[in-house]
Amino acid sequence: MQLTQIDQDVEDFVVKNFLFGQQDGLTPDESLLERGVLDSTGVLELIAFLEEHYAIKVEDDDVTPDNLDSVARISDFVSRKLGYSG
């Protein structure tokens, strides 16, 4: 799986589930929390998606803005969990 595919998968999930299918100018580095796209329930939905879609385990210590606050950060986090470098 290419990193760009992870980016696209995450963006598609966010747009479909939190932006009602409208990309609405969302950029990969934009904070999902500051923009109000994700709240605490949304974070749990995102974690469930990541664990199911990528067969990874998101530990409590992983739930930080550094890992889950933007499409780019989520993609980087998933890549690290899958053991991809780059």
Confidence (pLDDT) at 85 = 64
* pLDDT tens by residue, 12-48: 999 999 999 998 888 999 999 999 999 999 999 999 9
Going by pLDDT thresholds of 50, 70 and 90, the confidence category of residue 76 is: very high
* pLDDT tens by residue, 57-72: 999 999 999 999 999 9
Give DSSP secondary structure letters for 4-58: HHHHHHHHHHHHHHHSTT--TT--TTS-TTTTTS--HHHHHHHHHHHHHHH----
Q: Specify the higher pLDDT residue, 3 or 74.
A: 74
pLDDT above 90 as % of the chain:
86
